[in-house]
Amino acid sequence: MPEPLILQVAIDTPLYRLFDYLPADTGKPAEPGCRVRVPFGRTFTVGVVMGVSTHSDFPLHKLKHVSEVLDTEPLLPPDMRRLIHWAADYYQHPIGVVAAAAIPKSLREGKPLDLSGDSLWQITASGSQTDVASLVRAPKQSALLGWLTQHSPADTDALTSFSDNWRTAMTGLVAKGLAEKRIQPCLEINNGDVVTATQLNPDQQHAVDRVNASLGQFQTFLLHGITGSGKTEVYLALTDAVIARGKQVLILVPEISLTPQLTRRFRQRLSQTIAALHSGLNDRQRQCAWGMAARGDARVVIGTRSALFTPMPELGLIIIDEEHDASLKQQEGFRYHARDLALVRAKHAAIPVVLGSATPSLESLYNAERGQYQLLQLKQRAATNARPPRVEVLDVRRRPLQDGLSEMLLQHIRNHLAQQGQVLLFLNRRGYAPLLMCHECGWTTDCPRCDAHMTLHQHSRRLHCHHCGHEKPAPSSCPQCGHSELWLPGAGTERIEQALGQHFPDVVISRIDSDTTRRKGALDDKLEQARLGEARILIGTQILAKGHDFPNVSLVGILDADQGLFSTDFRGTENLAQLIIQVAGRAGRAERAGEVFIQTHQPDHPLLATLLNQGYTGFAQAALAERRHSELPPFSHLAILRAEATQSETVTDFLRQAKNLLTTGKVLSFGPLPAPMARRAGRQRMQLVLQASERRDLHAQLYGWVRALGEIKGASKVRWSLDVDPADLY
Ligand code: ADP
Ligand code: ZN
Ligand code: ZN
């Protein structure tokens, strides 16, 4: 008897296994990587064949047949399947969920890969030679043909603006051979003129040469270049070189706001088809970019973290920009780190990876220090005349802060505006004030569902909880004692914007935070307005700190450094130092000398002192010494089991049992402890932290442990998740 063929299928369901099926009755083969429709429970679902075997743990007669094979060619090539297997193992996440994350939604639902773009109608040679007057018996066709002589090729929008019912006339013209329809590719094929490459300086050239010498083998480079040192030019030169060898390049950036900017720069410089992949795309656009890359038609992919899962048959180089940025780590569901997985993908593919940053993560610096990564440095600003900014700490102790702004800072702003400078103020808190407080009885605007205050948004006169989304109208008097004087301690970006409007009534002020950029395209518009210098004062949150190039900014103000100094998380100081350096880097990018002012009540804080006196590298060395001393990453390896439920006893009980299931002394566990915000959205939250000196001990433990957690009594009442290599302990 021939050996049975068993298909091992990944299905998007939270179980740590593949599902066995028999081939379709039709006999149509399903190679690994192809999608199949399968009976699952009482319905049907779409899965991906990850492997084939001759053996199943289930009796053969119990296995069902695949009902339909959806692909003739594998949708997921072997290297992507290998990465999915690896990631599911490493992050201890159900493999079907991981595979689903790697595929655009419409493909996941079983639709065919469709790379056709918009339709265009154009006049044919015979149409151009036809006298429109000869179509007297068809006046609508005659008019359309006349219009087409001027407007060919035309898309449906243009045609509809010409006439609402152009389709009938067009059908007539097409039948007569006077016009024809053409389907555009879904992605613009770029083969137009490009601007010539910048002459690299010796440091940049050295970096490019080193990476070029490693093409075709696995090697990780840490490109540590100060802001404005020309890292992007290095990426461009490398991409050019790799494409010239017939290979593809994958570039990951942390933020969606960075993709259009970087994509534009690449399109200007490379006459290549470049696909952008980020969360702002609709499903058709995403499928297009993904498919074009998978077919090798797009030579460059620029995207946010999930673009890491784009199949690229000729991948030759991976570049991760802003490699320190926490947005590269997914914070929910399948909690992977795109940088760490990129290294795995590169290793499998035997290609180099470049990690770029002005403020590398402590992990990466440590890896460079011990020779795991090759360090490439750019220590000078690249543009002629560009100088590093001057940094000054503004001690705001015992000085009145008006709406969060000190008189000293206001004076500096006045000076810069008078000299035609542009001002960028950073405050990582949106809204008007972080809470309302009653002067009489001390009542505060607590969120009923979280251990947090509700933020006042003045524009809408509403209170918002930034943690659970709860909102309600702001009271005009104290709901507890009726007193009418409500105090507003602290300031958010909305308040700063309002105060600045009073100080500088004639100046265009632009607030850039998630409240003002919700509309699609709003962020791009605002960034463009900022770049062109139309807005003279920019006030914003995180969004402004990232790698944007605002050539006219001469003054940067960090309004509240104290928030970060008091963070309880082990990465708190690292993140603050990176933020200060990144924000400061927005000043003086071009001709103008920059100044940076940091408002703080802690002018003598050792972190600030080290950072200002010894720079980021000095800070990083001190911070690494501290991590080594307290045995925190990268000197140990962490995983967190987070759990929440409506009753705190349920959570504690679950985590206690989970702790009892640990079998090795090589993994230490801390907890159960309340999460830093113990109640959120009405649920009680606790966590158990696991720590091991050796990564393999941690992983050896996690495998069986995670699979046993679902068996714990009461587990069904608990919502839990495992986070391997957590970005923070929240
Ligand atoms: P980074 O990515 O490190 O912040 P960019 O690549 O954006 O730096 O470069 C910063 C500025 O310096 C840009 O305006 C860029 O055009 C300019 N620049 C980069 N390299 C050179 C060079 N070799 N010569 C002159 N100008 C350069
Ligand atoms: Zn009161
Ligand atoms: Zn809340």
For residue 602, the domain's CATH number is 3.40.50.300
Of all protein residues, the one whose alpha carbon is nearest to atom 6 of ligand 1 is: 230
Q: Are residues 258 and 286 in the same domain?
A: yes
Q: Are residues 371 and 330 in the same domain?
A: yes
- Closest Cα to residue 342, out of 306, 370, 296? 306
Q: Comparing 611 with 261, which gets the higher pLDDT?
A: 611
Q: Comparing 100 with 158, which gets the higher pLDDT?
A: 100
Biggest CA–CA distance in the chain, Å, is 92
Question: 377: Cβ below 6 Å to ligand 1?
Answer: no
Q: Quick one: which atom of ligand 1 is closest to the CA of 358?
A: 3
Give me ligand 3 centre to Cα 466, in Å.
7
Rounded to a whole number, what is the distance in angstroms from the first to the last CA of the chain?
57
Q: Are residues 83 and 62 in the same domain?
A: yes
Identify the bridge partners of residue 643 per DSSP, sorted by sequence position.
686, 720
- Closest Cα to residue 48, out of 95, 114, 90? 95
Q: Are residues 325 and 421 in the same domain?
A: no
Query: Would residue 504 count as lying in a domain?
Result: yes
* Gap between the Cα atoms of 441 and 437, Å rounded: 9
Q: Are residues 534 and 402 in the same domain?
A: yes
- Angstrom distances, CA of residue 204 to CA of 235, 318, 379, 602: 10, 18, 10, 38
Report residue 570's pLDDT band, with 50, 70 and 90 as the boundaries: confident
Q: Are residues 218 and 158 in the same domain?
A: no
Query: Would residue 456 count as lying in a domain?
Result: no
Q: Are residues 609 and 651 in the same domain?
A: no
In the 8-state DSSP scheme, what is residue 411? H
Q: What is the pLDDT of residue 262?
A: 87
Question: 359: Cβ below 6 Å to ligand 1?
Answer: no
Query: Would residue 730 count as lying in a domain?
Result: no
Give the three-class secondary structure for 625: helix
Q: Are residues 563 and 526 in the same domain?
A: yes
Query: Would residue 192 count as lying in a domain?
Result: no
Give the three-class secondary structure for 172: helix
Give me ligand 1 centre to Cα 533, in Å.
19
Domain end among 155, 185, 215: 185
pLDDT above 90: percentage of residues in the chain: 58
Give me ligand 1 centre to Cα 382, in Å.
5
In the 8-state DSSP scheme, what is residue 217? S
Question: 382: Cβ below 6 Å to ligand 1?
Answer: yes
Domain end among 108, 141, 165: 108
Where residue 98 sits, what CATH number does that domain have? 3.40.1440.60
* Gap between the Cα atoms of 95 and 99, Å rounded: 6
Q: Are residues 248 and 297 in the same domain?
A: yes
Q: In the chain, helix, strand, coil percent, each to 5?
A: 35, 25, 40
Q: Which domain holds residue 394?
A: 390-432+491-621
Q: Share the mean pLDDT of the chain.
A: 90
Q: Are residues 221 and 157 in the same domain?
A: no
Q: Are residues 701 and 614 in the same domain?
A: no
Most confident of 61-70, 344-353, 385-394, 661-670: 344-353
Query: Would residue 125 count as lying in a domain?
Result: yes
Identify the bridge partners of residue 723 per DSSP, sorted by sequence position.
640
Give me ligand 3 centre to Cα 444, in Å.
14
In the 8-state DSSP scheme, what is residue 640? E
What total number of domains does the chain contain? 5
Query: Would residue 471 count as lying in a domain?
Result: no
Give me ligand 3 centre to Cα 450, in Å.
4
- Angstrom distances, CA of residue 299 to CA of 81, 190, 411: 21, 11, 50
Where residue 700 sits, what CATH number does that domain have? 3.30.70.360
Give me ligand 3 centre to Cα 465, in Å.
5
Over residues 205-255, the pLDDT tens digits come to 999 999 999 999 999 999 999 888 899 999 999 999 999 999 999 999 998
Q: Quick one: which atom of ligand 1 is closest to the CA of 547?
A: 4
Structure tokens given for 55: 């053996």
pTM of the predicted structure, to 2 decimals: 0.88
Type of residue numbered 709: L
Query: Would residue 444 count as lying in a domain?
Result: no
CB 317 within 8 A of CB 238: yes
Q: Are residues 409 and 535 in the same domain?
A: yes
Question: 269: Cβ below 6 Å to ligand 1?
Answer: no
Question: Which one of 233, 251, 302 would you pick to mutate in the ligand 1 pocket, going by the greatest count of ligand atoms within 8 A of its CB?
Answer: 233
Relative to the alpha carbon of 463, which ligand is closest? 3
Query: Would residue 469 count as lying in a domain?
Result: no
- Angstrom distances, CA of residue 95 to CA of 53, 488, 528, 723: 17, 49, 41, 15
In the 8-state DSSP scheme, what is residue 230? -
Over residues 279-323, the pLDDT tens digits come to 878 888 889 999 999 999 999 999 999 999 999 999 999 999 999
* Gap between the Cα atoms of 308 and 599, Å rounded: 39
Relative to the alpha carbon of 467, which ligand is closest? 3
Identify the bridge partners of residue 698 per DSSP, sorted by sequence position.
none
In the 8-state DSSP scheme, what is residue 382? -
Relative to the alpha carbon of 549, which ligand is closest? 1
Report residue 119's pLDDT band, with 50, 70 and 90 as the boundaries: confident
Question: 229: Cβ below 6 Å to ligand 1?
Answer: yes
Domain end among 185, 214, 229: 185
Give me ligand 2 centre to Cα 488, in Å.
13
Question: 228: Cβ below 6 Å to ligand 1?
Answer: yes
